[in-house]
């Protein structure tokens, strides 16, 4: 569960992410130990039009459920930019 395989046999993980041509929002939760900030940074570095933002929460991986208002603010800002 720690890593999803988005590739086909002839592709690399990096190549697939670099081929994404749409804007994307990567939300890193500072206390998430399942999907850590360093992994979210890697995604943002590889996806050409990705924006990385941080959600500060003590709820860990459940922050997207427990801190919905904070998450919604981040999503609305991104929506207004695209």
Percent of the chain with pLDDT over 70: 91
**pLDDT score, position 3:** 63
Over residues 13-52, the pLDDT tens digits come to 899 999 999 999 999 999 999 999 999 999 999 999 999 9
* Helix (H) or strand (E) segment spanning residue 18: helix 13-18
Q: What is the pTM of this model?
A: 0.83
**pLDDT score, position 4:** 65
Q: In whole angstroms, how far apart are CA 35 and each of 43, 53, 65?
A: 11, 14, 15
Confidence of residue 11 (pLDDT cuts 50, 70, 90): confident
Is the pLDDT score of 5 beyond 80?
A: no
């Amino acid at each position: 569960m720690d890593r999803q395989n988005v590739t086909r046999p002839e592709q690399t993980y990096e190549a697939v992410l670099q081929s994404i041509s749409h804007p994307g929002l990567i939300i890193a939760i500072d206390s998430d130990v399942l999907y850590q900030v360093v992994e979210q940074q890697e995604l943002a570095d590889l996806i050409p039009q990705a924006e990385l933002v941080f959600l500060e929460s003590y709820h860990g991986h459940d922050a997207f459920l427990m801190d919905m208002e904070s998450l919604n603010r981040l999503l609305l800002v991104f929506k207004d930019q695209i």
